[in-house]
Amino acid sequence: MSIRERLSGNEAIATAMRQINPDVFAMFPITPSTEIPQYYAQYVADGRVDTEFICVESEHSSLSACLGAEAAGCRAVTATSSAGLSFMNEVLYVAASSRLPVVLAVACRALTGPININHDYSDSMAERDSGFIQIYAENNQEVYDNYLMAHRIAEHPDVRLPLMVCEDGFITSHAIENIELEEDDAVKKFVGEYHPENYLLKAENPLAVGPYGVSNYYMEARVAQAHAMMNAKQVILDVAADFEKTFGRKYGLFEEYMMEDADIALVIMGSSAGTAKTAVDSLRAQGIKAGLIKVRVFRPFPAEEIAKCLVNAKAVAVMDKSEGFSGCGGPLFAEISGAMINEDKRPKIVDVVFGLGGRDFTVKAALSVYDRLIKIAEGGELGQVYSHLGVRT
């Protein structure tokens, strides 16, 4: 039976970790993810878990320690944000290419410069091609639920890839919301124990982890890794189906909101989707066929599935909460454009970069984007395809 509670996103993640009781937690603090190891350190001190809790000297070291633990056959976790995630860059690629299913909690925060500690997705999007599965949450309940599913996805024998559970820094990491927690025994049963087939300390079958990949083998290893990411899509859906059967809450690769007959739509991620849903409700009350797609799984990207949902729309705005510096739009826009490129029928699509460094995104701002889409859908000029919302002039 679910337990009603009020928790921040960080405490929700730490609670999920406690219930799972991983073998190793290697930590280094950075705002706004610091509370996750802080809460977990208290669980260790109180004897509520038997995790090996390791304090290291940097984020690079924290993920490196997790890799050593995973290679030895342990279930390992850590948490980070912003420049900490960037400092892990080298090790992120090692984790993914070595097929070590570390679960990394990321409280997404803007990257320097200038120095900023508030939320956008510049940190996680900078690592979008590292080989990590990436799952994003709109609210604290989703943060908790995503974490409960994370280990089963990452550790699945058809996948064996590391995974980022992404929450919005401060917006969900620190804000307290009503949440439904599951009983410890039910969580342990759902997640299960970790029993890798091969690991360094398996005496019957010694092996090396992280070998040198000569040209004769490197490409095949990368292709196998790419196929594992493709496999992850179905595994994510299968785990979500079991989660719904067990706990009653439903998840997919993305959420469709009022998309059945939508003429205009936003594609958006994270907590901003909640704000945009209010704008959709307002427009629907006026008889305007507005809708929204909230991307939950960014890696593997559900291109085919999202394209199928967008083909009947007339105008779409992709909302990028990070700047791609590509000269033509942000990373989410690139993915959506690629998803639609071979569709015989497709909407007009524009990219709107917004919310950088914690810039407010209001219902009024969302409505202004929908107003632009209404004009485009009625045959008006497409205008600037790549634009920034809320910039002072």
Average pLDDT on 196-215 reads 89
Instruction: Give me the pLDDT at residue 139, please.
Output: 98
Residue-level pLDDT at 175: 98
Which of 199, 226, 247 is the last residue before a domain boundary? 247
The residue from 247, 276, 296 where one domain ends is: 247
CA–CA separation, 246 vs 121, rounded Å?
31
Residue 55: CATH number of its domain: 3.40.50.970
Task: Give the helix/strand (H/E) hosting 26.
Answer: strand 24-27
Domain end call among 231, 247, 263: 247
154/158 Cα distance (integer angstroms):
9
- Quick one: pLDDT at residue 390? 95
Q: Do 296 and 168 share a domain, yes or no? A: no
Query: What's the whole-number mean pLDDT along residues 369-386?
Result: 96
Identify the CA nearest to 120 among candidates 129, 130, 105, 109: 109
The confidence score (pLDDT) of residue 393 equals: 83
User: 326-358, pLDDT tens digit by residue?
Assistant: 999 999 999 999 999 999 999 999 999 999 999
Closest-CA residue to 271 (of 160, 157, 366): 366
- Together in a domain, 109 and 243: yes
pLDDT, residue 348, reads: 97
**Burial (0-12, 13-18, 19+ Cβ within 10 Å), 385:** middle
Whether residues 361 and 273 share a domain: the answer is yes
Least confident of 10-24, 193-207, 240-254: 193-207
In a domain, 345, yes or no: yes
Pairing of strands 103-108, 52-55: unpaired
Domain count within the chain: 2
The rounded distance, in Å, linking the Cα atoms of 190 and 294 is 26
CATH number of the domain bearing residue 294 = 3.40.50.920
Contact 167, 275 (CB under 8 A): no
Q: Are residues 110 and 241 in the same domain?
A: yes
The CA–CA distances, whole Å, from 226 to 160, 210, 351 equal 11, 17, 28
* Residue 210: predicted pLDDT: 85
Same domain, 102 and 119: yes
**Residue 103 sits in which domain range?**
3-247
* Residue pLDDT, tens place only, 265-294: 999 999 999 999 999 999 999 999 999 999
Total residues belonging to the chain: 393
Distance CA 245, CA 260 (A): 25
Q: What single-letter amino acid sits at 170?
A: F
Residues 276 and 194 occupy one common structural domain: no
Q: Assess whether 219 and 259 both reside in one domain.
A: no
Q: How confident is the model at residue 128 (pLDDT cuts 50, 70, 90)?
A: very high
**Cα within 13 Å of Cα(300), Cβ side:** 22
DSSP 117: -
Report the run of H or E that residue 280 belongs to, with start and end.
helix 272-285
Average pLDDT over residues 249-263: 98
Helices 140-155 and 184-191: crossing angle, nearest 10°? Answer: 40
Q: How high is the pLDDT of residue 146?
A: 99
Model confidence band, residue 380 (pLDDT cutoffs 50, 70, 90): confident
DSSP characters for 187-233?
HHHHH-----S--TT-TTS---SS----HHHHHHHHHHHHHHHHHHH
Average pLDDT, the chain: 97
**Pairing of β 103-108 and β 163-168:** parallel
Q: Based on the domain organization, do 326 and 178 belong to the same domain?
A: no
Q: What's the angle, vertex CA 75, arms to CA 73 and CA 76, rounded to 5?
A: 115
Q: The tokens of 223 are what? A: 């292709």
Whether residues 66 and 157 share a domain: the answer is yes
Q: What is the dihedral of CA 97, 73, 142, 4, to 10 degrees?
A: -170
Q: Is the pLDDT of residue 90 over 90?
A: yes
CA 253, 256, 261, 264 dihedral sign is negative
Percent of the chain surpassing pLDDT 70: 100
- Shared domain for 57 and 196, answered yes or no, is yes
β-sheet bridge partners, residue 11: none
Q: Per-residue pLDDT tens for 56-77? A: 999 999 999 999 999 999 999 9
* Residue 18, helix vs strand vs coil: helix
The average pLDDT across 23-44 equals: 98
Q: Is residue 393 in some structural domain?
A: no
Express each pLDDT in 294-336 by its tens digit: 999 999 999 999 999 999 999 999 999 999 999 999 999 999 9
pLDDT at 142 over 90: yes
Residues 180 and 241 in one domain: yes
| Cα(240)–Cα(36) distance, integer angstroms | 24
Same domain, 151 and 212: yes
Specify the pTM: 0.97
pLDDT at 205: 87
Confidence of residue 201 (pLDDT cuts 50, 70, 90): confident
